A = this chain, B = another copy of it.
Amino acid sequence: MSDEIAENGTANGDVPEIELIIKASTIDGRRKGACLFCQEYFMDLYLLAELKTISLKVTTVDMQKPPPDFRTNFEATHPPILIDNGLAILENEKIERHIMKSVPGGHNLFVQDKEVASLIENLYSKLKLVLVRKDEQKSAALRAHLGRIDALLERRGTRFLTGDTMCCFDCELMPRLQHIRVAGKYFVDFEIPTSFRALWRYMFHMYQLDAFTQSCPADQDIINHYKLQQALKMKKHEELETPTFTTSIPIDFNDLNNSDQ
Complex Cα distance, B257 from A159, in Å, reads 11
Q: Are B213 and A245 in contact (CB under 8 A)?
A: yes
- The residue in chain B whose Cβ has the minimal distance to the Cβ of A261 is B157
A194 proximity list for chain B (CB < 8 A)? 250-251
A31 proximity list for chain B (CB < 8 A)? 243
A221 proximity list for chain B (CB < 8 A)? 238, 243
Q: Which of A38-46, A48-56, A131-139, A223-231 contacts B (4 or more CB under 8 A)?
A: A223-231
Complex Cα distance, B153 from A256, in Å, reads 13
In the complex, A113 has a CB within 8 A of chain B? no
Complex Cα distance, B86 from A231, in Å, reads 40
A204 proximity list for chain B (CB < 8 A)? 249, 253, 256
| Copies of this chain in its oligomeric complex | 2
Q: Are A207 and B243 in contact (CB under 8 A)?
A: no
In the complex, A141 has a CB within 8 A of chain B? no
A247 proximity list for chain B (CB < 8 A)? 207, 213, 216
A256 proximity list for chain B (CB < 8 A)? 197, 200-201, 204
State how many angstroms separate the Cβ of A244 from the closest Cβ of chain B: 5
In the complex, A219 has a CB within 8 A of chain B? yes
Q: Are A244 and B228 in contact (CB under 8 A)?
A: no
In the complex, A27 has a CB within 8 A of chain B? yes
The winner among A31, A182, A203, A204 for most chain B CB atoms within 10 A is A204
* A27-B203 contact, Cβ under 8 Å, with A219-B243, A245-B216, A250-B194: no
Complex Cα distance, B246 from A231, in Å, reads 24
Complex Cα distance, B197 from A219, in Å, reads 51
Complex Cα distance, B49 from A150, in Å, reads 73
In the complex, A75 has a CB within 8 A of chain B? no
Complex Cα distance, B247 from A178, in Å, reads 9
In the complex, A241 has a CB within 8 A of chain B? yes
- The residue in chain B whose Cβ has the minimal distance to the Cβ of A251 is B194
In the complex, A235 has a CB within 8 A of chain B? yes
A218 proximity list for chain B (CB < 8 A)? 243-245
Q: Are A227 and B219 in contact (CB under 8 A)?
A: no
- What would 8 more interface pairs be, CB under 8 Å, given A182-B246, A200-B256, A207-B247? A201-B260, A207-B249, A213-B245, A218-B243, A220-B243, A227-B231, A227-B235, A231-B234
List the interface of chain A (C-beta within 8 A of B): 27-28, 31, 157-159, 178, 181-182, 191, 194, 197, 200-201, 203-204, 207, 213, 216, 218-221, 223-224, 227-228, 231, 234-235, 238-239, 241, 243-247, 249-251, 253, 255-256, 259-261
